[in-house]
Structure 1
Amino acid sequence: MMQEKLYLAVCDDEPEALAQICEALRKALHRVEYRTSCALRKFTSGMALYEAAVKERFHLIFLDVEMPNVNGFQLAEKLHLMASDAHIVFVSGYEDFVYDIFEHAPLAFVRKSMLDYE
């Protein structure tokens, strides 16, 4: 049986946070011995991610909430309007945003401080 490749996207305007999220994903996938191959695309701009999502299919998208030009909530809405079936995980250093995410029906909300949690 052929397994489908899992396409992931991570978007954060801060390069250090982007690297931290990607490393946490790598560790998590390794820890559960995830057997399906993954393709991970990194973005430092919400609009760059949106333009890629118009052309490519992502299964899971990790979005920083606070970004310049288009924030994570606005981007999630744009993705929803284009009928993307990607699951969204919001990532933020501010836990106050957890109450604002529900209208966007994300898969999860992750605090950046919890990314290094073993």
Structure 2
Amino acid sequence: MLRICICDDEKIQRNELKFIISTELQLRGIDFYIHEYEDGEALIASFSKDKNYFDIIFLDIEMDGINGVETARKIRNLNDKVVIIFVTGFVDYVFDGYEVRALNYILKPYKKEKIISVLSEALKQIDTISNRFFIVQFNSNSYKLCIDDIIYFISDKRKVKVITKEDSYEFYEKLDHIEKELPSFFVRIHQRYLVNLKFVLSIENNYVYINSEKFPVSRNRYQDVMIAFAKTMLG
């Protein structure tokens, strides 16, 4: 699901932008959700709880309280991949987007063609980084994890636990299915373990060492693991 945020202190402007975006995404058959905020403070508070939740943020520059540029700075400190698009009624602010690597800007009053063009540009950029995330779903909760932050997966009967640099999550899935979704630097070293080779310090005596932990390597997987580890180290 594509998660979009519109942050603008004018409800009429939010509604107009939301309508155009929603109509275009429906025509493309894209599953999406749009969340609205009327000020930068609320967006930052929400973003701080889950820095990977939104894929695209449409951000008004002229807002009461924290303006759009300052809001974008704080967001960039939390996430350097989310697509930021500025919306503004003043062409003078256009160059402020370079500092926070805004993808583009949309001038008010809105022109449908411009919105669709910028949205298309954003979707292309998301396609190039979509494989950098892994979605964990458990009960009614959904978590979007950055693949580069995942250290390893461990299977325990019907459940799988994923360990990241910051946290851990449990969910129902088969390790075989997870392995197929991940890049080649994730390697199955054992029936129960799937590890990110970028975090492996060494492989010695049939064990993989990650930080202060060690994990057994199956005898029939050892050669493949060593080859994959060497390729990862060589870049």
TM-score range, shorter chain: 0.7 to 0.9
TM-score, normalised to structure 2, is 0.45
What is the aligned partner in structure 2 of residue 23 from structure 1? 19
* In structure 2, distance between residues paired with 1:14 and 1:83: 26
Task: Give the aligned CA root-mean-square deviation in angstroms.
Answer: 1.7
Structure 2: which amino acid aligns with 1:106?
A
Tell me, what secondary structure is at the counterpart of 2:106?
strand
> For residues 1-118 of structure 1, what are the structure 2 equivalents within 5 Å?
5-30=1-26, 33-56=27-50, 57-117=53-113
**TM-fit CA distance, 1:6:** 0.4
* In structure 2, distance between residues paired with 1:42 and 1:101: 21
Give the stretch that moved more between structures: 17-26 or 57-66. Answer: 17-26
Unpaired runs of at least 5, structure 1: none
* In structure 1, distance between residues paired with 2:83 and 2:113: 22
Distance of aligned partners of 1:96 and 1:28 in 2 relative to their CA distance in 1, 3 Å threshold: farther
Contact persistence 2:25–2:31 (CA under 8 A): no
**TM-fit CA distance, 1:23:** 1.4
* In structure 2, distance between residues paired with 1:67 and 1:113: 16
TM-score, normalised to structure 1, is 0.85
Between Structure 1 and Structure 2, the one with more strand by share is 2
How many equivalent residue pairs? 112
Contact persistence 2:7–2:40 (CA under 8 A): yes
Contact persistence 1:20–1:115 (CA under 8 A): no
Structure 2: which amino acid aligns with 1:83?
N
Can you list the C-alpha shifts for 1:3-46, whole angstroms capped at 9, x where unaligned? xx10000000111111111112123324xx32231011001011
**TM-fit CA distance, 1:84:** 5.0
Instruction: State percent identity of aligned pairs.
Output: 28
Greater Rg over alpha carbons, structure: 2
